[in-house]
Structure 1
């Protein structure tokens, strides 16, 4: 980024995996960085990177952090996966109200550029999408199977609608855009990969599901960093504000079967790749039952669901998108990556094939599969007295 040396960037959710990676990249280019997050950074920060601890749900804290920034990367969100997806109140507060706070603070303090990290899910809700582009309409809000996707849609709509809003004290207008990334991977990723490795090591990862020809996409963390930097630069007058008011799908540009993508990780850690393949409909039903159980006992025991309904769709149903718009308007060119560095990262931390697998994990999985099969079979039986 040619303008990074004189800019101050604020990154909401900046202490997360992707936020920290983005901050380090910008810092190397000479930019001033402010990280805003509820949690302290896990890694040691360079002295000139500022960390501001705060909650995006509190406007006064957001306003204080944003004052003086030239550009905001709004990454902070909640409810992406697992049991987090079932906490509706917190998801609404962070994703919708939090985004409104960021927009308001940008307008009040004359911040002219805002890049919002959105998601594929704003247009996807379980339907097949092949090489879709940004002309696709938002999925109707009532069709989203989870609160995260619905609230991310609302937040993205608000961000793009705010594009062109006059800033206070004649400071020009707000230029905003949104990036819609695929699933993020890379060494040290802390949300999805450890959960997958945990299932592998506990003996729970014993089946795959869906059509083996189904295709999804992923994005390496450094490709996503590049896309964000390019999007911020494309909001400047030097680039004719070309990304202003626009949304972009971002991935590695290599559609792949979800389970085949993770095969190198499974086998790289010394485990056999599952041969059993189950239908998506069955796994979706099991996920639905699990969510209902969580609804009932979650307040007492907030267990981690094996999968949620949204995760079943995201991993088992074809949906991939064209990078043409991002390449043409942002100059985005994804680099080639694989899971080798991820395997090395996990192995360096003691992960890999153990001498004994988890009997308890296998027992739980066998029970869940049997219960689901019985439930599906019973659903086809006629009602008594009918």
Structure 2
């Protein structure tokens, strides 16, 4: 892991007018509205979410609305009149297929259509780096030229819905004509950080269950994760780029084009998967020694996961502790090139991996998520 950067040195400024952020009560959404609210330029920030915020910001107006409720969303757009929409709301990876389809696909389409008809200038969609993954082929330095994997070729329904939503968002980019409407998609990989309710808490749950002595695969697979402050920063940069493109009246050269484009966003620090996991456990207090680790071959782990999935499904026991998806993610090589984001958005990570993990673990311990009690281990 490389040296950490400091996000207090980076304060991008853009007056985007009125900005509406979906999912503003979540970890990433909160980071986005926080970054906008601390910029010198004055943008009016609105958040829409089903949940109320845990720590509301005084400068942000919050709305609790179902994103698939057409009447409520139209009413919200009539009230707010957003110039920019940042759509990062999404159900959890383990939600039902119906919920994923309704929110990620139908909800995104509804938002785009209403935004376009309401005079919104730009729409930024938070997609996923997984949209080019078939769940079995390693990705090494993959870039935006790789095709989306959808339909039967995509083993994860959640990823399929994210890909379909991204396709629709980008298809609605309209740099000329009336109304002009600019769109882009950001593809972060493995989002973690303060407010995280999935990645770090899940890893800490394994620590709490005393499972740090087990390792799936031989840990030779590089993987890429992204601290959520960096993802928020990328959204601000994309906003600035689309605002500038809108003002140029479609005079942007192809090499600098942002509208209608997708961008991978990472920490630019590929790390061996189990090194990432064990760093989290160490910050939570784990003292497991390398000689005490039991390495389970990938083939064995996939077999066990298949049996557990079948048993838990047959007995209505909920989600099993080990799934084939978890095994695949633990053993795959998957990292990306962010050259396009660097060149066209001016993106670079502002919070390094180790600092981000320290913050995330400390936050989870403070909220008692993934761990009942614990102390942040000093390194």
TM-score range, shorter chain: 0.7 to 0.9
What is the CA–CA distance in structure 2 between the aligned matches of 1:3 and 1:19, rounded to whole Å?
18
Change (3 A) 1:268 1:281: same
The residue aligned with 2:5 is: none
What is the CA–CA distance in structure 1 between the aligned matches of 2:175 and 2:108, rounded to whole Å?
15
Higher mean displacement: 172-181 or 203-212: 203-212
What is the CA–CA distance in structure 2 between the aligned matches of 1:59 and 1:282, rounded to whole Å?
47
Contact kept? 1:178, 1:246, Cα under 8 Å: yes
Contact kept? 2:20, 2:47, Cα under 8 Å: yes
* Aligned 1:324-343 pairs, distance under 5 A: 324-335=339-350, 336-338=352-354, 339-343=357-361
TM-score (norm 1): 0.82
Contact kept? 1:145, 1:309, Cα under 8 Å: no
The residue aligned with 1:103 is: 112
What is the CA–CA distance in structure 2 between the aligned matches of 1:188 and 1:8, rounded to whole Å?
24
Deviation for aligned residue 1:263: 1.6
Q: Secondary structure of 1:33's partner?
A: strand
1:129 aligned to 2:133? no
How many positions carry a matched residue from both structures?
341
Deviation for aligned residue 1:308: 3.0
Deviation for aligned residue 1:246: 0.5
Higher mean displacement: 311-320 or 98-107: 311-320
Deviation for aligned residue 1:173: 1.5
The residue aligned with 1:12 is: 22
Where does structure 1 lack aligned partners over 5 or more consecutive residues? 354-386
What is the CA–CA distance in structure 2 between the aligned matches of 1:260 and 1:276, rounded to whole Å?
15
The residue aligned with 1:163 is: 173
Contact kept? 2:189, 2:226, Cα under 8 Å: yes
Contact kept? 2:19, 2:45, Cα under 8 Å: yes
1:40 aligned to 2:52? yes
The residue aligned with 1:380 is: none
Change (3 A) 1:24 1:247: same
The residue aligned with 1:291 is: 309
What is the CA–CA distance in structure 2 between the aligned matches of 1:51 and 1:206, rounded to whole Å?
44
Where does structure 2 lack aligned partners over 5 or more consecutive residues? 1-11
1:351 aligned to 2:373? yes
What is the CA–CA distance in structure 2 between the aligned matches of 1:13 and 1:20, rounded to whole Å?
8
Residues 150-198 of structure 1 deviation map (CA, whole Å, 9 limit, x = unaligned): 111111111111111778xx4x311111111011122332222122212
Of the two structures, which has the highest relative contact order with CA contacts closer than 8 Å and spacing of 6 or more?
2
What is the CA–CA distance in structure 2 between the aligned matches of 1:293 and 1:212, rounded to whole Å?
28
The residue aligned with 2:85 is: 72
What is the CA–CA distance in structure 2 between the aligned matches of 1:91 and 1:23, rounded to whole Å?
24
Aligned equivalent of 2:221, options 214, 220, 230: 214
1:246 aligned to 2:261? yes
What is the CA–CA distance in structure 2 between the aligned matches of 1:156 and 1:287, rounded to whole Å?
30
What is the CA–CA distance in structure 2 between the aligned matches of 1:109 and 1:7, rounded to whole Å?
15
The residue aligned with 2:295 is: 277
The residue aligned with 2:4 is: none
Contact kept? 1:209, 1:283, Cα under 8 Å: yes
Change (3 A) 1:271 1:2: closer
Contact kept? 1:79, 1:147, Cα under 8 Å: no
Deviation for aligned residue 1:253: 0.6
What is the CA–CA distance in structure 1 between the aligned matches of 2:302 and 2:195, rounded to whole Å?
29
What is the CA–CA distance in structure 1 between the aligned matches of 2:68 and 2:323, rounded to whole Å?
26
The residue aligned with 1:118 is: 127
The residue aligned with 1:321 is: 336
Higher mean displacement: 28-37 or 90-99: 28-37
Q: Secondary structure of 2:24's partner?
A: coil
Deviation for aligned residue 1:272: 3.2
Aligned equivalent of 1:50, options 54, 61, 66: 61
Contact kept? 1:120, 1:180, Cα under 8 Å: yes
Contact kept? 2:27, 2:194, Cα under 8 Å: no
Contact kept? 2:27, 2:193, Cα under 8 Å: no
Q: Secondary structure of 2:271's partner?
A: coil
